[in-house]
Homo-oligomer: A and B are copies of this chain.
Amino acid sequence: MERTGVWIVGARGDVAVTAMVGARAIARGLAAPVALVTELPELKALELPAIDDLVFAGCDVRTDSLVDRAWQLHREHHLLEAATIQHVAGDLAEIDGSIAGAEAGAITAGNLAMRPLRAIVEEVRAALRAFRERSGVSRVVVVNLASTEPPLADHDAHDSLDAFDLALEADVREAVSASVLYAYAALDVGCAYVNFTPSRGARLAALHELALARRVPYCGNDGKTGETLVKTALAPMFRCRNLHVLSWVGYNMLGNSDGRVLADPTARASKVESKGKVLREALGYEPHATVGIEYVPSVGDWKLAWDFIHFEGFLGTRMSLQFTWQGCDSALAAPLVLDLIRLGDLAMRRGEIGYLGHTACFFKDPIGVAEQNLAVQFQRLVDYASNA
């Protein structure tokens, strides 16, 4: 029986823990696979790995155990139920042993600033190879769930694999970020790579070249879990009624560690940019649009978004729609992560290489796909399943 390896960057974070607890709970029949897109009847034709066949591993600079992190989510965010955690505690303890720390694969800010880049990459490669061999999985999907990085400026070294390799050799640190190095290492050793964050990850011509060379697939960026999800459902509505959106003002509040990171303007820049393209693409023009992000500790993992959409209709009549989204970020992200792992595994099995355009509906800023209409993106996934 084949099993699929999952190697998560940021394996002790909220989303990762929720995904692992959920996967084990589903595997053990404790929970229904609600919120997994890959469980929809439209996708039944796909021969996806069973949730039970996912073998989790990864890296993280944090060291608290997965079980402790799970209880923290329970206490602080009412997210995971006590009974569920108790039932999967043994599974989590087992995974704990497969999560590399700072000394063995997890890239730290310190390393990134000081160590030779080649050595950093080599450590990640070694960790991935070791996991594959030790666990006996057929294929490994690497998933980036680490905190959002500041935007990485374009650099000549990004333009080709040769240029990038030279930059690694010469330790041109401004050409890389942790997510880029993880992506490089993952693709290089033949793993599929999924970037669920707005960080750069595999989005460079150099890494696309590498994916083609190693014949592996990748996808990203930035999981679409809340306000942007609603945007890509609503903006096409205005479009298909020829209603002219004048202003789309969005305001996000979040209180988890993600929120703390985004309170820093440079990290926020990645996020806002990733959110910004959506309206332009979905509407065909650019309304007055703002995206505020505010760190509000008391809301914890609950992400609140309030959006006000001001639009003009027949004979210049001005009207509005406003919505308030109250979602639990980890509960929204985790099932999509499992979906992408399954789709990444299937793509490897099928020999699909380069970016996976049919995964666009999962991302705020899908690599290789301009389309931002959620329904059209989803139809593309359904078509992929139908043609399977």
Contact = CB atoms under 8 A, between A and B. Distances in A.
Interface of A: 18, 21-22, 25, 31, 33-37, 39-40, 78-82, 84, 229-230, 233-234, 236-237, 240-244, 246-247, 249, 251, 253, 288, 290, 292, 294, 296-299, 304, 306, 308, 310, 312-328, 331-332, 334-335, 361, 373-376, 378-379
Contact of A40 (B230, B240, B290): B240
6 contacts: A233-B237, A249-B253, A313-B327, A314-B332, A314-B335, A323-B323
Given A246-B298, A304-B308, 9 more contacts: A34-B313, A40-B242, A80-B315, A82-B82, A247-B298, A296-B310, A321-B325, A321-B326, A374-B375
A136 B15 CA distance: 56
Contact of A34 (B244, B331, B379): B244
A297 to B, nearest CB: 6
A312 B32 CA distance: 11
A22 B240 CA distance: 20
Contacts of A230: 234, 237, 321
Contact of A375 (B294, B317, B376): B376
B323 A322 contact: yes
Contact of A373 (B22, B306, B328, B375): B375
A294 B40 CA distance: 32
Interface centre among A37, A80, A321, A334 (most CB of B within 10 A): A321
A310 B321 contact: no
Most chain-B CB neighbours within 10 Å: which of A84, A249, A315? A315
**Identical copies in the complex:** 4
B326 A324 contact: no
A298 B318 contact: yes
Q: Which 5 A-B pairs have the closest CB atoms?
A: A375-B375, A246-B298, A317-B331, A323-B323, A233-B237
Contact of A240 (B244, B298, B324, B374): B374
Given A241-B37, A242-B40, A251-B306, A328 B323 contact: no
B297 A247 contact: yes
A236 B237 contact: no
Contacts of A323: 321-324
Contacts of A22: 314-315
B326 A320 contact: yes
A339 to B, nearest CB: 9
Nearest to A333: B314
B313 A35 contact: yes
Contact of A331 (B25, B229, B313): B313
A331 B310 contact: no
B297 A288 contact: yes
B308 A328 contact: no
A317 B328 contact: yes
Contacts of A247: 296-299
A106 B319 CA distance: 34
Contacts of A294: 249, 290, 292
